[in-house]
Amino acid sequence: MRDPEVLEEVKSSLAALAAKSPGRAIEVRVPPYAAIQCGDGPTHTRGTPPNVIEMDAQTWLELARGETTWDAAMESGAINASGARANLSELLPLRMTP
């Protein structure tokens, strides 16, 4: 079951990421809450994109808030990332308004 507060924070933080890095080169998935496409580069229109990042909501929110680093989350296995552009370390943490 999805927590409404987590849902709202995941959606708003993913929207902040998309605003910070517009494009369609990377797909970021935080199941079961949301998924977005962002990042400059070759766009994708059908099927699985070449650059995919997936993680749980807790990991995503910790990254977005600056409570953990990309490298630490990758090393712990909390992030599943594939593709040459599947790295958000330069975009995190995000500045989000409460």
pTM: 0.91
Which tens digit of pLDDT belongs to each residue from 11-69? 999 999 999 999 989 999 999 999 999 998 876 666 667 899 999 999 999 999 999 99
Place of tokens 């902040």: 16
Distance, in Å, from the CA atom of 36 to the CA atom of 25, rounded to the nearest integer, reads 10
52 and 83 Cβ atoms separated by less than 8 Å: yes
Domain layout of the chain by residue ranges:
1-47
CA atoms within 13 A on the CB side of 95: 3
- Asked if CATH classification 3.30.1050.40 holds for the domain at 1-47, the reply, yes or no, is yes
The DSSP element (H or E) to which 11 belongs, if any, is: helix 4-20
